[in-house]
Structure 1
Amino acid sequence: MRHVHLWLRAHPLVFDGLAATVVALLSLMLFASVGVQGHWWQALFPLAFVVPVALRSRHQVGALYATAALGLVTLATFSFPHPAILYAGIVMAYSASAYAPRTHARAALALSVVFGVIGGVKWSYLVLSLTGTSYDLHELALRNQAIALSVSIGVCSAPLLMAWLWGGVVHARHAYLQEALDRASRLERERDALARLAVVEERGRIARDLHDVVAHSLSVVVLQADGARHVLESDPARAAVALETIGRTGREATAEMRRLLGVLRSPQSASRAPQPDLGQLETLVSQVRESGLPVTLHVTGDLASVPAGAGLSAYRIVQEALTNSVKHGGPSVQAEVSVVVQPDGLSVSIADDGRGAAAANDGAGLGLLGMRERAAAVGGEVTAGPRPGGGFAVTAFLPTEKAVVRQ
């Protein structure tokens, strides 16, 4: 039944056609009996209600007042409440309350009350005929007249009022759903804006980090060049070592500068504190242990041979991954950090045995965005996700200078 309702809601013209068909069938059902009595006007007139009912979704306000006008003619000329006209009134009361602007919806409520009262007073004799009494209304006692009128007004008003109230429920439900959709759309836009802002801010941090690396390399080049110039004649061997250092440092600085050109830098000023490197991983792990997260560190290879840019990115990735383990891993979580220096790059893995996919999600995921930006800045990549046996894992591969140059 719910699927039928949703389908009809998505195809309002189908419902209009069905409602108009019901009005026509009810009119034709009584056409012969009413026409035989000589009331051809009352037999034909209900068919006029087919038009506003068929146009109710395309012209809500006009159909409402057209039905009201036809209803006034009915109250003035008909000797009995025609079922087709009553059905048309129910459909329009519901439609106006559910879909029309609130001013016209309130007008539909007022019209329902007016038509119910007038119709109840005019056709109150039907109540007596239904009870089988032979008395007319004016022959009853005043108390019984009041009861008969009240029952008649209630019988005529109840269907219209119930239809109007149900339309109000539908309108409130549609308004709530629309508000929920608008809120979800707004939150999605805010989330996307936060993600873009996080990327820009993280790129700004990356730019500042790489700037410090390149500045350090250039300082080394200048110092070594000055030293080589002073000992060039007295100690050529030392000058050759200095020149070799200059060449190596210059190549590293050139590679870092190439990466820097691909990174957007935030215009905001920032502090120029010394940047960490892989040599401080043990200090970082010790700080995390002191915060309550048991961490095991495994290092394979010579960390000193890793370029400064890749080392800084690896340090930040480990730092962010361990921070996520502390925040989302839950109680009694343990973590393991593995750093492997390979001939073509640096492999980093951070895994924990915490809640994994069951961890509470703040809906932002900005930490993972930052890690991916860090890796992309040095030509690497990061993958993250729940572990098959439980917990969460972050792995990164950062190519070294030689691998980048070969590309």
Structure 2
Amino acid sequence: MVVTCEISFDNNKQRVFYAGQLVSGCVTLKSDKVKEVQAIQLKIVGYSVTKWSERHRATTKLYAGREDYLSSVTYLLGSEQNTDRLTISAGVHTYNFACQLPYQCPSSFEGRYGCIRYIAKVELLRPWKFHQAYTHGFTVLKMMDLNFETPQLKLAAHSEGYRTFCCGPCKTEPLKMELHLPQAGYVPGQRIPVTVVVINNTGVAVSELRLSLVMLIRYFSVTPEHSRVERIVVSKAKGDSVLRQSTRSMTIDLLVPATPPTCLSLCNLIQVAYQLEVEALIKSLREQQVMTMPVTIGTIPLAVAGVVVQQPPRRSAHYEAPSNRNSNDELPIVTAIANVPNQLTPSSADIPPPAYEESKYTVRGNINEEELHAFGANEFAPLYPIYSMPSPKPVLTPNSRNIGYINQTFEK
């Protein structure tokens, strides 16, 4: 007997939703023969889990945690309290469903040591045999509009640092580096124009500059309490050398690929942050100077000149996770949530709606890892918005107006 199950979402082939939206769709069951069931159940759940092990001397310790954000159960046919056997006739059967997402859902994420996952699962309940499960993953994104997160994201960012190097019994003169960004917030698809000024007053040359956009993922466990950090380079670029006793300025574009948005507050088990790293290599000394600067990756871009970004409506209710929750706690009920528009993107025709792509730097998850009798695809990867829009103009400083010159004096 062959039974197939398809879960489709209304006007959303890519299965991408923003927190606060209504998830609605249709379940289509196809059977070539009559089939007996106790009930047909649809579960829509959202949760985060972390799991890893670490070896301490002769023992291996397991760390794990779980946090739930959404739990919706709908019986499409029958119920678990019903003890009678119901029959599904041969043919095609359709069932409609709808579920409201909480406003404070963290963005979907699949990582090496944990995940933030949202799934819709249809189960054919058959206590006399075994349950059949059909699971479909879908993407939920935090509505992170860079225009309304914090004013600091719109401002130019600046950082500088000095370092001396040991060369035998002596120390070199300082090597100074300056980093300049036109703003601190970006979206995938944009290029970050990084202006780097290197004032090299040492007697050795800087052989190369290396730029990286790094995703930092911190995983937390509950039993026992512990954490670990994963570091993933999502974008790279290189700059030219800088001669000794000279200053050089260069602006290097660093592409932001499809990647999860910054998330530091909504999930207690997984935090995602980004930082820009610039490394000046001095091969003759086998040393380097590294500077870092935090950046924020959002889902809706900052407004640029001539482009108006419409602020999404505010909601009157939201989900707040209890600080101490166990698996038996009842999930909070979310009510009075205003409708969220489907187009949560800049309203100007100058910027088209984003495309949605899978991240190349995170893993694919097994959404059926908890099921013994699962049917359909196991692998799932969230999709993230990627824009085709102009990048901000680079910052020009007194030092950066010069491509390069020989140092006459050096002042800190």
Q: How would you bin the TM-score normalised by the shorter chain?
A: under 0.3
TM-score normalized with structure 1 length: 0.22
More strand by share: 2
TM-score of the superposition, structure 2-length normalised? Answer: 0.21
